[in-house]
Every structure is written in structure tokens, then in C-alpha cells.
Structure 1
Amino acid sequence: MTVYRVKTENHEMILANGVPAETFIDYVGRAAFDNHAEYLDLYGAERIIPEMPAPRISTARLLPEAIRARLGIAIETVPLSA
């Protein structure tokens, strides 16, 4: 599977194959990507893009149980230390 990350000047909604999708958001930072040096050559420095003010689900644990079940997504549980 190939995943493309679309970077725009702002965090925004775009259409990807006819489905609304959001553009890249800086959760990890670009230094984690293979093309970080190329990015610095093009833009000079990292720029943090603020998250758009829209409700979003950024992790499986925030996804409603009915939707997780329908998609077959299990949540990993970590046992608490005694």
C-alpha cells in the first residue's frame, strides 16, 4: 500500500478520490521523514502548521465502539500494574 501525505500552507480538508480527507498535520515533526533534508533545502526551516478547528478522531480509542466494530478495529489494552 502507498500512502501519500499532502502538505499545504495550512491544515485543511481536500478531496482524495472523491472522499474528504485532511492534509498533513505536524504530530511527529518532519525530522522523522526520509526527505527531511530535502524539505530543509526547499523551505529553510520547519514550520509548524496549526491544526484546523474541526472535530476529528486522531486515534482509534476516540472512535465510537460501533464504528470500530464495523471496521474491525481492535483497541490494544495494556494491563495495569498491581
Structure 2
Amino acid sequence: MADKQENKTFEQKMNELETIVNQLEQGNVSLEESMDKFKTGIQLSEQLQDTLTKAEHTMAKMMDKDGNEVEFEASKDEKDDHDANKAD
């Protein structure tokens, strides 16, 4: 399941997290299912935060200390991630 989560876009993960939150707020699920959904929600939240942190670091690299844009080339890891997402 973790592999499937990793292949989802940021928006897909965010939508899934919102769905989980809504289901838990409504309280129409069993305790066991609530615990599973809570665990999944925590994992999604951590993945989303990681994505945002990486994006923030990328943006910081694209700006110099005066806030001017600098030439940017994606790192090998970012290119690999991008290519992998295009294949899906």
C-alpha cells in the first residue's frame, strides 16, 4: 500500500486525506476502521508535509539572497521522480 501512496499526486493524496477526515468527523465507522483510517491519514499527512518541504527547498534554490530568480536545473532525483510520475 505504501508504494501505491507514493505514486499518487499531491492533489490525490490531499483529496484522500480530506475524505478520511470527513469520515472520521461523521463518526459512522467502527473503531477498528477509524484506527485504520487515522493511521492512513497520519501517513498521508507526513507524505504531504514532506512534499511541501521539498518544494520549499527547491524554490529557495531558485532564488538568490535578493529574491531574484536564478537559473535552475532539476537534480537527478527530481528528474527521476518527474519521469516516474509521467509513466503513470
Q: Shorter-chain-normalised TM-score: which range?
A: under 0.3
Q: Give the TM-score normalised by the residue count of structure 1.
A: 0.25
Q: Give the TM-score normalised by the residue count of structure 2.
A: 0.24
Which has the larger share of strand?
A: 1
